[in-house]
Amino acid sequence: MSNTISFCELAVAGVQRLQPYQPGKPIEELEREYGITDIVKLASNENPLGASPKAIAAAQASLASTHLYPDGNAFALRQAIAKHHDFDPAGITLGSGSNDLLEMVARAFLGPGREAVFSEHAFAVYPIATLAVGATPVVAAPNPKDHPQPYGHDLAAMRAAITERTRVVFLANPNNPTGTWLTAAELEAFIADVPADVVVVLDEAYVEYAAAAPGYQEGSGLLRRFPNLVVTRTFSKAYGLAGLRVGYGLSSPEIADLLNRVRMPFNVSIPAQAAAVAALGDREHVAESVRLNAAEMARLQDGLKALGLRWLPSAGNFLCVEVGERSADVYEGLLRRGVIVRPVGGGYKLPTYLRFSIGLPRENDKLLAALKELRDLGVVQVS
């Protein structure tokens, strides 16, 4: 008997097929690899202002209790979220980031013989969560490049992809990594047309930034009309708590009960719960974060335009920018100039683009200066 074992062959079929999620490169990793300093990270759509000082203080004050398990039901946080949305606490599910909610939905409603529908160029966790539970991912064709929302969700194509085997549809609004969005009318008409036995997950990780986008409206108001709808939110973006990992889902109490059956015990830590409650109470910090994002996005767009570059319309805190066939060289060139951005080839299938998070003024200036150098060297290809 051979002692050589292929553990990949021992894994379930879905896990054999999937590729792990690739996060943005950490600053410390770039420092180790290239020995450079003064690095700016514009890769992971983090809030450049950081967390609310009130949230940081609350997290620090909670550390004296870290020898205890967290409140498994996160009572105070669920009550704060319920007040924030004027929503029934029984319909709130807490997660370690909103991607935790996406995986709960997959564990509760997907499995072998079942399908999940999502658009091409959508968030990478959708296929990972689907394949991990043995379900089949069905990828709908996106809008064409010449559409007003290029590479965004084609709702007609997504509806056509739904079959009797479909149990979940994932919608990102705004979408990551493209930044494109759906209008309120489009979204409501689509959900109304989805069979009632299909769970629609509306991923609103960037909702706070999207309010000014033409036609946009957040989706929690649709929950009372559509019992098959789940809205997911995160504290990682506008609230600046990415490092604490906390998010939540809004749904009918019946769906929330099912999600809580598969939710891991104590999945939101004591500091995360405390910080999230305080963050919800500091609306001015979120408003300032949104104001900064709008101002710096406009300024970054002006700079990109001056360089002859084009980007996809975005309602998030990032831009997906077309840099040409040598996008890998542009990415590497930016790294060597101390700027970390996000490649969106590979699983995202946008090989001529890079995604830039909106940073502080000096960070965006550093990005623009590095892009100009690379353009003048012929590495960045102007459209």
Question: Domain residues of the chain, as ranges?
Answer: 14-43+284-376, 53-282
Write down the pLDDT at residue 1. Answer: 45
Q: How far apart are CA 80 and CA 86, in angstroms?
A: 10
370 near 333, Cβ under 8 Å?
yes
Residues in the chain: 383
* CB half-sphere exposure, 91, CA atoms < 13 A: 19
Q: How far apart are CA 88 and CA 102, in angstroms?
A: 20
Question: CATH number of 53-282: 3.50.50.60, 3.30.2130.10, 3.40.50.720, 3.40.640.10?
Answer: 3.40.640.10
Write down the pLDDT at residue 174. Answer: 98
Write down the pLDDT at residue 199. Answer: 98
3-class SS of residue 16:
helix
CATH 3.90.1150.10 fits 14-43+284-376, yes or no: yes
Write down the pLDDT at residue 4. Answer: 81
Phi, psi of 126 (to 5 degrees): -60, -50
What Å distances lie between residue 50 and 44, 149, 177, 286, 291, CA to CA? 13, 30, 21, 10, 14
Write down the pLDDT at residue 253. Answer: 97
pTM passes above 0.75: yes
Write down the pLDDT at residue 2. Answer: 54
240 sits in the region (left: phi over 0; alpha: psi -120 to 50; else beta) called left
Write down the pLDDT at residue 10. Answer: 77
342-343 and 353-357 strand pairing: antiparallel
Cα torsion 244, 75, 174, 152: sign: positive
If the chain, 383 residues long, is cut into consecutive pieces of 10 residues, what is the mean pLDDT of each piece?
72 77 83 91 97 98 96 96 96 97 98 97 96 96 97 98 98 98 97 98 98 95 97 98 98 98 96 98 97 98 97 98 96 96 94 98 98 95 78
Write down the pLDDT at residue 20. Answer: 75
If residue 202 lies in a helix (H) or strand (E), which one and from where to where? strand 199-203
3-state secondary structure 245-293: CCEEEECCHHHHHHHHHHCCCCCCCHHHHHHHHHHHHCHHHHHHHHHHH
